[in-house]
Structure 1
């Protein structure tokens, strides 16, 4: 499990920005009035599935809500092992108590070793397919695009394009 973001409403450079002829200019992005959002995402190693929720903030409250969603996805008798970085909202007393009561073990990567988390390589394809060359009008459209990508990715996990992008990322 990890956080992806901050996600802003601005034009992201990428493929297709300069078509032949008269290229369409990118809009100015110096006035960002939409704020940012954060994607809380989890990767199921056994099922090879990605799950994610967009949130306004990434505090322990949103983190705990996402953990509860993950807990409902799997049978209560299964022990969940959640691999995390050392971000402070992951270590609050409320989160640790909830994890203990709900058969969830929080496993922290060593400091400066977030690349050991297997979800990291899944953010490169997400960035490529959702953000590259995009200009979403608002956060709702961006969140819809992310959810559409996650559904498509879970059906096409062995896609050559996804595998090629994952190999470019340095992870364990």
Structure 2
């Protein structure tokens, strides 16, 4: 009897067939040719696209430089699970944490203290300084600055940053601020402003220097920003006075060698002697408490020279309520910085030319701080004062305990 020693035939496993819709193919191709996607994701997507074209696992492995098991894994996972989402890594437990929750909490607590309170001769904490301080105190044996940064990021702590704030010193802050905000909304004494009534926001931008660089400024080039030489010769300084029509978005400006009552009244003369302000019913001048237009004397001087002009002061330390400050910030960014002028005449010409350019396309500022926001701010200050009273903390004899966030 003849014995057949051949092994019985075993059915071959066929690779799972992948069929893509037009939308899926479009998404996969976008990832496959992406320059920003992770390399592992791009490789897995290309494996799936090859499988959809009908390539065998061995062929795909040779084309992509991976093992057959890798091709089989991602081909099967895409076929049996949730499409593109299945190509990302599954959550992993990772290695055990090096620092305990108590140590992490102590580092966060240290970051929430002022360095002066701990005896460190620093004004603010940085991550390297926190790492050294934590090791010095024995909170940890050793910790890197990057680990400290990751721990602080969990609670969005950034002790190396700071934000300024000021006390409210004007006892009539609420009344004065409401008056200015009402003018921006075209209201005065609970009555709407008429067509022949205008609101002007005015102030001075002082000490604009003419810094003549010792070497010419180089324009930007390929992979290079504009270069400005650090060394310069001083060419003097001047002041830029501007009056901004709040609702018509028009700027009237002039330069002066110094600030004071005379230069400011020259600006008023420049505006009030031309239409429509010369024949207007009322023109409200919103100003801060600078020396050239401070107090009742300045208001009387303005009304004596122009009977239809009304001076309205912002509260003390609240020049952020003056809209012309927004225009000055634009001037600082677009005209003054990085300050490369050969003379004061060039500074003056540049300012006046920019003023004409700005008026051609200017639109009123979208002022978002309304009287309702003012009420919310005052209510928040009142809650803060009540908290201070309840905690019985010693009050500063020179200032009231109410505060305003400078970014309000």
Measured against the shorter chain, the TM-score band is 0.7 to 0.9
Q: TM-score, normalised by structure 1?
A: 0.78
1:105 aligns with 2:310: yes
Q: Which runs of 5+ in 1 are unaligned?
A: none
1:87 aligns with 2:294: no
For the structure 1 residues 112 and 93, does the alpha-carbon distance in structure 2 shift closer, same or farther, using more than 3 Å as the test?
closer
1:53 aligns with 2:251: no
Equivalent of 1:7 in 204, 208, 212:
208
Q: For the Cα contact (< 8 Å) 1:109–1:116, is it kept in 2?
A: yes
In the alignment, which residue of structure 1 is the partner of 2:331?
126
1:58 CA displacement = 0.3
Larger Rg: 2
1:121 CA displacement = 1.1
Separation of aligned partners in 2, 1:49 and 1:82: 14
Q: For the Cα contact (< 8 Å) 2:261–2:292, is it kept in 1?
A: yes
Separation of aligned partners in 2, 1:111 and 1:66: 23
Secondary structure at 2:312 match in 1: strand
Aligned positions of 1:120-159 closer than 5 A: 120-158=325-363
Separation of aligned partners in 2, 1:131 and 1:80: 30
1:137 CA displacement = 0.8
Q: For the Cα contact (< 8 Å) 1:120–1:171, is it kept in 2?
A: no
Task: Name the structure where strand makes up a greater proportion of residues.
Answer: 1
Single out whichever of 127-136 and 112-121 deviates more from structure 2: 127-136
Equivalent of 1:78 in 281, 296, 300:
281
Q: Which runs of 5+ in 2 are unaligned?
A: 1-201, 369-405
Secondary structure at 2:273 match in 1: helix
1:77 CA displacement = 3.6
In the alignment, which residue of structure 2 is the partner of 1:43?
244
Secondary structure at 2:269 match in 1: helix
For the structure 1 residues 47 and 16, does the alpha-carbon distance in structure 2 shift closer, same or farther, using more than 3 Å as the test?
farther
What is the number of residues matched between the two proteins? 160
Separation of aligned partners in 2, 1:17 and 1:2: 33
Q: For the Cα contact (< 8 Å) 1:130–1:145, is it kept in 2?
A: yes
Q: TM-score, normalised by structure 2?
A: 0.35
For the structure 1 residues 25 and 132, does the alpha-carbon distance in structure 2 shift closer, same or farther, using more than 3 Å as the test?
closer
